[in-house]
């Protein structure tokens, strides 16, 4: 896939559960299944806030990167921040997950009701958002730590601004996904490959369900 004449790298997120009930292995692999980054997470944490960690680790310089994942649509906060970091989160969309937000307050949208983006909220939080971007680029703060703080403070101007940006990004992506057959053909196979990878990882790492039973003996 090309953008501005330069190749855009794309990754897939793979999630494989370890035999221990409380942990999971979260990896980022290339289109040809080369693992570039692995992290171990607790099962009760949000996967969405950790997806940017591996993507930034795998990126060379400031290049644009496409990260194919499952959970992007669950967090507008992550969608908003990722777009400002030149990371596109591509995920498979099902009809029941489809929701759009309008961009013009004066306009009445026939099919999406009153769901509209509030640009003034983005303006109010923009200064704080720039501080967050500067901290990430300088390496003084990790995205997962910042997102955890913002999730704990949903009324923070930066959190609210990124959520509105995420709604805009989600709407734009959903429209492209619905109208662009090439995009669906691009995302679909990689999303399916993720599921096949997880199945393979479970068999290799945990001998299928043999040592994944929740018993003391196992």
E strand or H helix that includes residue 93: none
Per-residue model confidence (pLDDT) at position 143: 84
Residue 215 lies in a domain: no
Residue 2 lies in a domain: no
Residue range 177-187, pLDDT digits in tens: 888 999 888 88
Domain count, the chain: 1
DSSP 96-139: GG----BS-TTSPBTTTBT-B--HHHHHHHHHHHHHHHHHHHHT
Contacts of 188 (CB under 8 A, 6+ apart): 92
Residue 170 lies in a domain: yes
Residue 104 lies in a domain: yes
Residue 4 lies in a domain: no
Q: In this structure, what token pair is assigned to residue 150?
A: 């913002």
Report DSSP state, residue 43: T
Distance in angstroms (rounded) separating the CA atoms of residues 29 and 31:
7
Residue 29 lies in a domain: yes
CA-based radius of gyration for the chain: 19
Residue range 172-212, pLDDT digits in tens: 998 898 889 998 888 887 776 666 666 766 666 655 555 55
Residue 1 lies in a domain: no
Q: In this structure, what token pair is assigned to residue 1?
A: 């896939």
Q: In this structure, what token pair is assigned to residue 117?
A: 């983006």
- In this prediction the pTM is 0.74
Residue 180 lies in a domain: yes
Domain that holds residue 150: 9-206
Strands 65-68 and 9-17, bridge-based pairing? parallel
Residue 35 dihedral angles phi and psi, to the nearest 5°? -75, 125
Strands 23-30 and 35-42, bridge-based pairing? antiparallel
Looking at the chain, the whole-number percentage of residues with pLDDT higher than 70 is 69
Of 39-48, 58-67, 90-99, 145-154, highest mean pLDDT: 145-154
């Amino acid at each position: 896939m090309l953008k501005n004449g330069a190749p855009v790298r794309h990754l897939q997120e793979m999630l494989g559960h370890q035999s221990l009930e409380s942990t999971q292995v979260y990896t980022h692999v290339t289109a040809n299944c080369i693992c570039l980054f692995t992290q171990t997470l607790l099962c009760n944490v949000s996967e969405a806030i950790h997806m940017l960690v591996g993507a930034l680790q795998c990126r060379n310089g400031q290049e644009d990167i496409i990260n194919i994942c499952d959970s992007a649509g669950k967090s507008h906060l992550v969608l908003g921040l990722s777009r400002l970091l030149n990371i596109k989160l591509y995920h498979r969309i099902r009809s029941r997950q489809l929701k759009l937000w309008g961009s013009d307050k004066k306009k009445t949208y026939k099919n999406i009701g009153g769901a509209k983006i509030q640009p003034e909220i983005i303006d109010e939080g923009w200064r704080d958002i720039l501080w967050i971007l500067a901290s990430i680029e300088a390496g003084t703060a990790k995205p997962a730590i910042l997102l955890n703080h913002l999730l704990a403070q949903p009324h923070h101007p930066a959190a609210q601004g990124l959520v509105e940006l995420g709604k805009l990004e989600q709407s734009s992506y959903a429209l492209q996904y619905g109208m662009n057959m090439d995009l669906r053909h691009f995302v679909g196979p990689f999303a399916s490959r993720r599921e096949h990878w997880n199945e393979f990882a479970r068999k290799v790492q945990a001998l299928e369900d043999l040592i994944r039973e929740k018993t003391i003996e196992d």
